[in-house]
Every structure is written in C-alpha cells, then in structure tokens.
Amino acid sequence: MSVRLYVGNLPRELSREELEALFHQEIGEVGTTKLITDRKTGKCRGFGFVTVESEEIADQVIEKLNGYTFKDNPLKIEKANDKPKSEAKEKEAAAAEKPNSSNRSNNRKNNKNNKNNGRRTQGNSTPAEDISTEMEAVEPDPRWADALAQLKERLLAQSSNA
C-alpha cells in the first residue's frame, strides 16, 4: 500500500523535477511527487507531497530526510494526514452554519428579497418590523459589543432629544 508523505519548508525557487531528483538521489525510486505552487506566480508555496510504496520506505525517508538541509532549508517530512471525506463534509457544513458577517448580510438581502418583494408579508408586520426582529436575533461580534452598546445609547439619547 502506498504512503503519502508531506514535505515542508521547501525553498520558494524549486521545481517538481528538483524535488523528485532529491528523493531519487537519497532514497531511490519514489512513486509520485507533487509540488504545491502559487496560482499567480507559479512559485513553490513551501510544501509538497511524495508518495512511496510502503510504510517501511516511508519510515526510512522520514528518518533519513527529516531535518535534512536542502538549499539552505531544513526539510520537514512526515506522513500526510488524509482526512476522510465524510469529516471534510461535516466541517464544511459546520462552517456554513456558523454565522459570520458576510453570511448575515447575504442572509438579510436574501430574506428581504424573498419575504417582501415590495409587498407585505403574511401577518400584519411591516418590512421594517421584519428586519428589526431579524436583527435582534443576530448576536453582535463580541469584539465590538462594547462599542455597539455605546452607539445604541447615543442613538437613543439623540432620538429622545429630537
């Protein structure tokens, strides 16, 4: 069974062929090599993956090349952690459920467009009441809670003075 290895701390100026040559020179035959590059610049992002044939070879590679200085960079080599697809999907779903500012604003826009469409919704509430009820349900960002509370106080003071 093949084993995928993570190779980190690679120099920015590196090609896949150079990475493959390093492993071929030090270990012998390796399966595949994949260098992760920046889409815009095409330069190495500092890490890649190498596939070897067995656990024993993987252990030998890690023992021999972990910490090995390659182009003034000490390499970090370890077995890659492959996440099961179900876990990855669960994490995506959890991230989608977490409210963040961009999701809230998009949800407000969608709710406003879907609910109102320039007409009153079912019940006797006005669009302004729908929005205020929706805004009350949203928790403020804790980093800005104090500033938001002060702003609310100022607005209440202004509206009572007018």
Amino acid in position 85 = K
Task: Give the residue-averaged pLDDT of 47-75.
Answer: 91
Residues 120-155: pLDDT tens digits? 545 555 555 555 555 555 666 777 778 888 888 888
Residue 34 belongs to some domain of the structure: yes
Per-residue confidence (pLDDT) for residue 31, from 0 to 100:
85
Residue 134 belongs to some domain of the structure: no
Q: Does the structure show a pLDDT above 60 at 44?
A: yes
The angle subtended at Cα 47 by Cα 46 and Cα 53, nearest 5°, is: 155
CB 71 within 8 A of CB 14: yes
Per-residue confidence (pLDDT) for residue 128, from 0 to 100:
55
DSSP characters for 6-29?
EEES--SS--HHHHHHHHHHHTS-
**Other CB atoms within 10 Å distance of the CB of residue 22:** 21
Whole domain around residue 33: which residue ranges?
3-79
**Other CB atoms within 10 Å distance of the CB of residue 50:** 25
Residue 37 belongs to some domain of the structure: yes
Residue 56 belongs to some domain of the structure: yes
Give me the number of domains the chain comprises. Answer: 1
High-pLDDT (> 90) share of the chain, %: 29
Q: Report phi then psi at 122, rounded to 5.
A: -60, 150
Residue 141 belongs to some domain of the structure: no
Residue 13 belongs to some domain of the structure: yes
pLDDT band at 101 (very low <50, low <70, confident <90, very high): very low
Task: Give the residue-averaged pLDDT of 35-56.
Answer: 92
CATH number for the domain that contains residue 22: 3.30.70.330
Per-residue confidence (pLDDT) for residue 113, from 0 to 100:
52
Per-residue confidence (pLDDT) for residue 143, from 0 to 100:
77
Per-residue confidence (pLDDT) for residue 7, from 0 to 100:
94
Residue 7 belongs to some domain of the structure: yes
Q: Does the structure show a pLDDT above 90 at 75?
A: yes
- The lowest-confidence range among 14-18, 45-49, 111-115 is 111-115
Per-residue confidence (pLDDT) for residue 87, from 0 to 100:
59
